């Protein structure tokens, strides 16, 4: 009996060890933790681009001055003004990454009408009416910070520095009123180059992977514009009067950019195997 009982216990123990060994072997085949998914980062988008722009500038003048002041008795400056002007431009640049780009632009601004009116001898019954054209070309180096993209729309801010090339063209001085009727004067065209700077903001829209449409506002400071001396028939008082003013513009621009860089492909879908 003792021998039979011992054999039974030995069989039961052997069976338990065999079951335990099978469970351990199966557990060894299973990973302890599921593998972490791999997230791929798309490369930064960069490349050379061309741009074209059209717009309209609401030009303003300030700080008007005339050499007639302090020379002619009773001199009084009454008004001056300058019209707005359309413009067209283009340039090239480089999209450094998804956040920064820079370009060099040049634009031609259509001639805009300039006018002023002055009186002398403390009278308002007569004076001098002035008219001319201001012709401008502007070259700027610009930098922009793109502020992120939502549904294809990218707001941006930027700034630029460069030069404005002006011509004070066709300045005429016409006497008006009974006290000054018949006087007439002209000035030779004056050409000048000024430091210019700009601050801008806007939004662009991705039409396709390589095309961007842009709508923006720009404040453009084009420096001081100064005429040549006016020569009158028969005489001027004062002789060779020179007029001057500061010129700025509030510009609304529409732009189109074409980026030459190959657009990076979208990352492949993530597939996780367990």
Confidence of residue 41 (pLDDT cuts 50, 70, 90): very low
Per residue in 178-236, pLDDT (tens digit) is 655 567 889 999 999 999 999 999 999 999 989 999 999 999 999 999 999 999 876 66
Check residue 270 and give its pLDDT. Answer: 54
DSSP run (H or E) holding 266: none
How many angstroms separate the CA atoms of 267 and 221, rounded? 45
Question: Would strands 243-259 and 211-226 be described as parallel, antiparallel, or unpaired?
Answer: antiparallel
Contacts of residue 246, defined as CB under 8 A and 6 or more positions apart, other chains included, come to: 61, 62, 63, 223, 224, 225
Arithmetic mean of pLDDT, 36-40: 44
Residue 43 has pLDDT above 50, yes or no: no
Q: In this structure, what are the phi and psi dihedrals at residue 13, rounded to the nearest 5 degrees?
A: -65, -40
**Taking a C-beta distance cutoff of 8 angstroms, is the pair 211, 256 a contact?**
yes
Give residue-wise pLDDT tens across range 68-96. 887 777 778 888 899 999 999 999 999 99
Ranges assigned E (strand) in 67-152: 76-82, 85-95, 100-119, 127-146
- Asked: is 47-259 a CATH 1.10.10.10 domain? The reply is no
Nearest CA-CA partner of 141 in 93, 213, 203 = 93
pLDDT digits (tens, 9 = 90+) for 122-140: 666 667 889 999 999 999 9
What residue spans define the domains of the chain? 47-259
| Contact present, 199 and 216 (Cβ < 8 Å) | no
Mean pLDDT to the nearest integer, 137-153: 96
* pLDDT > 80? residue 6: no
DSSP tag of 42? P
Question: Is it the case that residue 4 has pLDDT exceeding 80?
Answer: no
pLDDT recorded at residue 78: 81
Whole-number average pLDDT of the chain:
82
pLDDT score for 126: 67
The strand pairing partners of 60, in sequence order, are 248
pLDDT given at position 2: 46
């Amino acid at each position: 009996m003792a021998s039979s009982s011992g054999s039974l216990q030995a069989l039961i123990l052997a069976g338990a060890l065999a079951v335990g060994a099978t469970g351990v072997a199966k557990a060894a085949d299973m990973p302890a933790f599921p593998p972490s998914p791999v997230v791929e980062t798309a490369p930064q988008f960069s490349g050379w681009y061309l741009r074209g722009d059209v717009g309209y500038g609401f030009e303003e003048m300030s700080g008007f001055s005339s050499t007639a002041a302090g020379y002619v008795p009773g001199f009084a400056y009454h008004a001056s003004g300058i019209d707005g002007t359309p413009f067209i431009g283009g340039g090239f640049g480089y999209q450094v990454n998804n956040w920064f780009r820079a370009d060099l632009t040049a634009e031609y601004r259509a001639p805009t009408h300039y006018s002023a009116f002055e009186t002398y001898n403390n009278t308002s019954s007569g004076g001098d009416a002035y008219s001319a054209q201001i012709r401008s070309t502007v070259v700027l180096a610009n930098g922009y910070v793109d502020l992120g993209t939502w549904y294809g729309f990218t707001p941006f801010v930027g700034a630029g520095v460069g030069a404005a090339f002006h011509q004070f063209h066709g300045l005429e001085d016409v006497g008006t009123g009974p006290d000054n009727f018949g006087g007439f004067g002209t000035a030779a065209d004056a050409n000048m180059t000024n430091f210019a700077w700009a601050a801008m903001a806007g939004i662009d829209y991705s039409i396709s992977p390589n095309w961007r449409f842009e709508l923006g506002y720009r404040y453009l400071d084009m420096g001081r514009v100064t005429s040549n001396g006016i020569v009158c028939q028969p005489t001027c008082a004062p002789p060779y009067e020179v007029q001057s003013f500061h010129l700025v513009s509030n510009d609304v621009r529409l732009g189109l950019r074409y980026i030459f860089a190959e657009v990076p492909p979208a990352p492949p879908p993530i597939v996780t195997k367990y």
